[in-house]
Amino acid sequence: MSNADKLESAIADYMAAAGVPLTEFDPSFVTRMVSAMMVSFHKYGRVADAYPLKFNAASDVRARMSKYRETGNMHFLVDAANFAMIEAMHPSPERNAQWGDNDAASSPGRTTASGHRLVQEANDGSRIMGETILHHPSELDAA
């Protein structure tokens, strides 16, 4: 069994122990993230030598998501995830980053396929807590 297979198996076991089916997470995506970071280490060097003082990982997330939207190339999703991880590891000083609340009340919600923002609503349409609030993305930009 390859190391990548072992990693994916360990993730699958971890999820199974929590009672979460593999339909809810893709272990191969994490393997792609790790593989890309290994290539980057040998290509560019240590992450800590570049972030946050030489490069801006949060901007790199946005750039990779833009390229994904433009091309459909899912490797840009892996890159975006890795840059998000780098920002968490080495946050830009101006962000005053911290691990804060991550609950429904503090979430910006999710965007529906029709472009509306749903706050505090489960996939089946039931309310997670309080009222379901609908926002169109243009309304969020104006706020």
Whether residues 75 and 33 fall in one domain: yes
The answer to whether residue 57 scores a pLDDT higher than 60 is: yes
Domain identity same for 61 and 88? yes
Are 37 and 91 found together in one domain? yes
The domain of 37 spans: 3-95
Same domain, yes or no, for 67 and 137? Answer: no
Residue 46 and residue 112 in one domain: no
Rounded to the nearest integer, the mean pLDDT of the chain is: 85
Is there a single domain that holds both residue 13 and residue 66? yes
What is the arithmetic mean of pLDDT over 44-64? 96
pLDDT tens digit sequence for 84-101:
999 999 999 888 888 887
- CA dist 132 and 139 (Å) reads 16
78 and 137 co-located in one domain: no
121 phi, psi to nearest 5 deg: -130, 135
Whether residue 50 is found in the same domain as residue 110: no
Model confidence over 8-17: pLDDT tens digits? Answer: 999 999 999 9
53, 123: one domain: no
The answer on 7 and 39 residing in a single domain is yes
Q: How far apart are CA 62 and CA 57, in angstroms?
A: 9
Q: Which residue has the tokens 């009340």?
A: 105
Residues 23 and 64 in one domain: yes
Please count the structural domains in the chain: 2
| Same domain assignment for residues 49 and 9 | yes
Distance CA 88, CA 66 (A): 20
